[in-house]
Amino acid sequence: MHFLAPAAFAFAATIPVVVVFYLLKRKRVIKLVSSTLLWQRFLSDTQASAPFQKLRKNWLLILQILLLLFAVLALSRPFFPTKAKPAQLRVIILDASASMQATDEKPNRFEKARTEALQWIDSLADTDQMVILQAGANTEVKQSATGDKTALRRALKECMCSDSPTRLVPALKMAESLVRDQKDAQIHLFSDGAVPDLNEFENRALPLIFHRIGQDANNIGITALDVRANPDDARQRAVYANVQNFSSNSVATEIQLLFDDQLLDTRALTLGPGELAPQAFVASQPHDGVFTARLTSKDDLGADDRASIVSLLPKPIKVLLVSRGNRFLEKALRAAAGVELRTANNLADEAGEFDFVVLDDITPTVWPKGNMLAIHVVNTNWLENITRIEAPAIVEWKTAHPLLRYAGFDNVQVAESLTAKLPTWAIALVEAPQNPLVLAGEFGRQRIIWIGFDTLQSNWPLRVSYPIFIANAVEWLNPATTKTSQLLVKAGDPFRLALTQPERSAQITLPGGETRTIPLNSNANELVFGDTLKQGIYRLHVGTNDTAFCVNLLDAAESNIRPRENLHLGKYTTVEATTLQRANMELWRTIAAIALVVLAVEWWYYHRRTA
């Protein structure tokens, strides 16, 4: 047996004081007390006839000494060391993502994780220290390294769960930096394990202990939501939603479509285990507003039962084509939905009146400031190390990018192309062995698509992918599309809004109805709002403009709330879920409870005798 506070044995010096009280002459004072059984017997057996008297066998004295010994022993905090070796530094990571709101634990997983983390605080030795990290939309240091248990408990109570996806990589990186070169340090992760790949921690020898939280996977959720013009009727809108069942049983539910809180349509669905059910609604839209899809069934996670998206009425897309007469390109642009095309042989000053500009093998004197599709022209501010290559072989293209949706480069041959080093602002859409041939990205606030080769010096215009790519480019470069995408925010990501004129403040109404005032710098050209931790519709008022934006979960990995048995740190490293016991099994609570039981038995015995 060991003792965490051996100095408490100094209180044992009070035992002789109790004995002296029984030896001293007492002046009797009649007092009524709750228990007089032992006192009456003692007074009948002793006479205070001398300053000191002979010490006799007395059960009251024995009981008092026994209780005092128990109290001293409890204060010394005895414990039996277990096989687990206490760490000098422990880093607690509390998963605060949406899946931790699941109610298969009572009241939910997050509170269960907080309770277990509090037990680890209670087991800290005097020389140990602990760090509290909250892993939500962003990693927050709730408490730096300290051994103060009060501060650690306060930090845990301040942690709050959000509707954001799990983002454990930054938290684990921070924890790794804290425990590096620390002997016997440990990282304790309290999570359900609904995390993306952690491949970058392979072969890092991370001292990670995974405390799995959660029991079941009863959940059905909305994992995707989009709105577009109805291909069959431009006056209507098509709303697409994905509903997926993550439980192991078939689930019956209803999905409802609302526009500005007005119910438009309801469908009954029955999904088997793991089944994905895409849904398409067609609805009229009289004005700009918000479409909402919601599920009526009850499950263990409510954050994904509802999703909203802002829908702006389509407007004509004004496009300026600067070309020497590329009929293929002109026809592809005119075929795109909603395009109002104007052609020119050179770039005029009125380029700013158009939504975006297409430069086809013509280098302008002054480059446009708006969105742009640049074909076989080079702006040296964009690219470095520009070279020319003959007959480049196309070896790879990014089919996952919106610009290449349904547009492949099979059997496309190019006679000659410009190529350059991949800049930091863009990604390579189409690549040759040497360098990329097609780039796309945002340079400042300008969306740019750069094609290094002259399309007329290739067979690409003869392929079906060509008009599809141009149609995708029209949608991607359209400023209205950019604005719509900015109004759909993933929970935890910041919302950004460009300011057209200086403003001193803005007001935002949160989904719960709370209104906040956001101070703005008069020189700021952009508003950034970061408190998007809760799902719902946010309404922003800046100057004379009102803007609504929607925050959603829309994450299949997060909606799959099945607790993981282990975490995969790369291909070969696995961390199994564990339920480690506390390092020190303290006994003071048991000893104090025994002392209370002794007093209770004496009180009960007295009343039983006198009843």
Alpha-carbon distance of 93 to 179, in angstroms, equals 13
**Among the listed residues 584, 556, 23, the one whose alpha carbon sits nearest the alpha carbon of residue 243:** 556
Question: Residue ranges of the alpha helices (H) in 126-191?
Answer: 149-158, 168-179
**What's the alpha-carbon Rg for the chain, to the nearest Å?**
36
The amino acid present at 194, given as its one-letter code, is: A
Cα 34 to chain centroid distance, Å, stands at 58
Residue 604 is inside which H or E element, if any? Answer: helix 588-610
Q: What is the dihedral of CA 41, 44, 49, 54, to 10 degrees?
A: -40
Q: Can you give the pLDDT at residue 189? A: 94
Q: Can you give the pLDDT at residue 377? A: 94
Q: Can you give the pLDDT at residue 43? A: 56
What is the bridge-based pairing of β-strands 536-542 and 545-552?
A: antiparallel
Residue 48 CB contacts under 8 Å (≥ 6 apart), including other chains: 25, 26, 27, 28
- Which tokens is 397 given? 């293209």
* DSSP assignments along 54-79, one per residue: -----HHHHHHHHHHHHHHHHHT-EE
**Secondary structure class of 432 (helix, strand, coil):** coil
- CATH 1.10.1370.30 for the 89-215+563-582 domain, yes or no: no
Residue 34 CB contacts under 8 Å (≥ 6 apart), including other chains: 603
Alpha-carbon distance of 13 to 97, in angstroms, equals 54
Residue entry with tokens 């009526």: 296
Q: Do domains 89-215+563-582 and 317-483 have the same CATH topology?
A: yes
Q: Can you give the pLDDT at residue 582? A: 47
Q: Can you give the pLDDT at residue 348? A: 72
- Which tokens is 261 given? 């809180």
Q: Can you give the pLDDT at residue 581? A: 45
Sheet with 446-451, strands from edge to edge, namely 339-344, 317-322, 356-360, 371-375, 446-451, 436-443, 426-431, 396-397
Select the CATH number that applies to the domain covering 220-313 from these four: 2.60.40.10, 2.70.170.10, 3.90.79.10, 1.10.1660.10: 2.60.40.10
**36-44, long-range: CB < 8 A, 24+ apart:** 36/606, 37/602, 37/605, 37/606, 37/609, 37/610, 38/63, 38/602
Strands (E), 478-560: 488-490, 495-498, 505-509, 515-519, 526-529, 536-542, 545-552
Q: Can you give the pLDDT at residue 206? A: 87
Alpha-carbon distance of 383 to 101, in angstroms, equals 47
Q: Cα dist. 562→208, 290, 323, 605 in Å?
A: 21, 32, 56, 55
Alpha-carbon distance of 215 to 213, in angstroms, equals 7
> Class assignment of domain 317-483?
alpha beta
Alpha-carbon distance of 525 to 502, in angstroms, equals 7
**Secondary structure class of 422 (helix, strand, coil):** coil
Q: Can you give the pLDDT at residue 81? A: 63
Alpha-carbon distance of 340 to 331, in angstroms, equals 12
Mean pLDDT by 10 residues, the chain (611 residues): 73 75 60 58 53 61 76 74 63 95 94 94 88 93 94 95 91 92 89 84 86 93 91 82 95 96 95 95 92 95 96 90 94 92 82 88 90 93 90 92 91 93 93 91 91 95 95 92 88 90 92 93 88 95 92 94 88 74 59 75 62 55
pTM here is 0.71
**Among the listed residues 248, 228, 246, 247, the one whose alpha carbon sits nearest the alpha carbon of residue 238:** 228
- CATH 2.60.40.1930 for the 486-552 domain, yes or no: yes
Domain-wise residue ranges, the chain: 2-80+589-610, 89-215+563-582, 220-313, 317-483, 486-552
- Which tokens is 111 given? 């509170």
